[in-house]
Amino acid sequence: MKNKYLYINTMGCQMNVYDSSQIQNHLAPLGYKPTKELSQADLIIVNTCTIRAKAEQKAFSFLGRLAPLKKANPQLIVAMGGCVAQQEGKRVLSRMPYVDLVFGTQAIARLPKLIRRIANERCRLVDTELSLELKPEDIIAGPFPKSDTSAFITIMRGCDNYCTYCVVPYVRGRESSRRPEDIVTEIRQLTDKAVREVTLLGQNVNSYGQKEGLCTFDQLLERINDIDALERIRFTTCHPKDLSRPLMESFNRLGKLCQHIHLPVQSGSDAILKRMNRHYTRQQYLDKIVQLRQTCPDIAISSDIIAGFPGETEADFLETVSLIKEVGFDGLFAFIYSDRPNAPSVRFDGKISEQVKKQRLQTVLKIQEQVSRQKNEALVGTMQQILIDGPSRSDGVKDNSNMAIPGGTGLQWCGRTKSNKIVHFKTQIDLDSGNQILTGSLMDIMIEKALPHSLWGRQA
Ligand code: 5AD
Ligand code: SF4
Do residues 337 and 165 touch, judged by C-beta distance below 8 A?
yes
Q: What is the mean pLDDT of residues 160-173?
A: 96
Per DSSP, the residues of 48-67 read E--SSHHHHHHHHHHHHTTH
- The CATH number linked to 123 is 3.40.50.12160
Task: Clarify whether residues 14 and 123 are in a common domain.
Answer: yes
360 belongs to a structural domain? yes
Confidence bin at 147 (pLDDT 50/70/90): low
Q: Is 206 in the pocket of ligand 2 (CB under 6 A)?
A: no
Mean pLDDT score across all residues of the chain: 91
Please tell me the predicted confidence (pLDDT) of residue 441. Answer: 87
Same domain? 40 vs 114:
yes
* Same domain, yes or no: 21 and 110: yes
Q: Is the pLDDT of residue 21 over 60?
A: yes
What are the Cα distances from residue 329, in Å, to 246, 298, 312, 321?
A: 22, 12, 22, 12
Q: Which atom of ligand 1 is nearest to the CA of 266?
A: 17
What is the 44 CA–ligand 1 centroid distance (Å)? 28
Same domain, 38 and 152: no
Q: In this structure, what are the phi and psi dihedrals at residue 143, rounded to the nearest 5 degrees?
A: -65, 140
For the chain, the domain total comes to: 4
Q: What single-letter DSSP state applies at residue 349?
A: S
Residue that terminates a domain, selected from 375, 401, 432:
375
pLDDT at position 265, please?
98
Our mutation pick for probing the ligand 2 site, out of 164, 170, 171, 203, counting the most ligand atoms within 8 A of Cβ, is 203
159 lines ligand 2 (CB under 6 A): yes
Q: What is the distance in A from the centroid of ligand 1 to the CA of 168?
A: 9
Let me know whether 367 and 395 are in one domain.
no
- The atom number, within ligand 2, closest to the CA of 203 reads 6
Domain hosting 203: range is 131-258
Q: Judge if the beta carbon of residue 451 lies within 6 A of ligand 2.
A: no
CATH number of the domain at 345, please.
3.30.750.200
In a domain? residue 10? yes
For the residues 177-185, what does the mean pLDDT come to?
A: 96
Ligand nearest to the CA of 346: 1
Cβ(169) – ligand 2 distance below 6 Å: yes
**pLDDT tens, 91-116?**
999 999 999 999 999 999 999 999 99
Q: For residue 326, what are the CA distances in angstroms to 282, 289, 306?
A: 11, 10, 17
Q: Best mutation site among 175, 204, 262, 267 for ligand 2, i.e. most ligand atoms within 8 A of its Cβ?
A: 204
Which of 359, 375, 391 marks a domain boundary? 375
CA of 61 relative to ligand 1 center, distance in Å: 21
Residue 431 has a pLDDT of 60
Residues 123 and 135 in one domain: no
82 and 23 assigned to the same domain: yes
Residue 113 and residue 37 in one domain: yes
Residues with CB under 6 A from ligand 1: 51-52, 165-166, 264, 266, 304, 306, 335, 337-338, 340, 343
Q: Rounded to two decimals, what is the model's pTM?
A: 0.91
Q: Which of 200, 225, 258 is the last residue of a domain?
A: 258
CATH number at residue 196: 3.30.750.210
Q: Is 239 in the pocket of ligand 2 (CB under 6 A)?
A: yes
The answer to whether position 194 is within a domain reads yes
Nearest ligand (C-alpha, residue 239): 2
Ligand 2, atom nearest to 204 Cα: 5
Residue 265 beta carbon below 6 angstroms from any ligand 2 atom: no
Residue 119 lies in a domain: yes
Instruction: Give the mean model confidence (pLDDT) for residues 162-180.
Output: 96
* pLDDT per position as a tens digit, 268-290: 999 999 999 999 999 999 999 99
Take atom 2 of ligand 2 and give the residue whose Cα is closest.
163
CA of 264 to the centre of ligand 1 (A): 10
Residue 365 lies in a domain: yes
Sign of CA dihedral 308, 309, 310, 314: negative
Domain annotation covers residue 348: yes
CA of 99 to the centre of ligand 2 (A): 30
Query: Are residues 17 and 118 both part of a single domain?
Result: yes
Is residue 217 included in any domain, yes or no?
yes
Q: Is 450 exposed, middle or buried (0-12, 13-18, 19+ CB in 10 A)?
A: buried
> 85 and 188: one domain?
no
Is residue 37 in some structural domain?
yes
Q: Check whether residue 352 and residue 283 sit in a common domain.
A: yes
Note whether 235 and 280 are same-domain residues: no
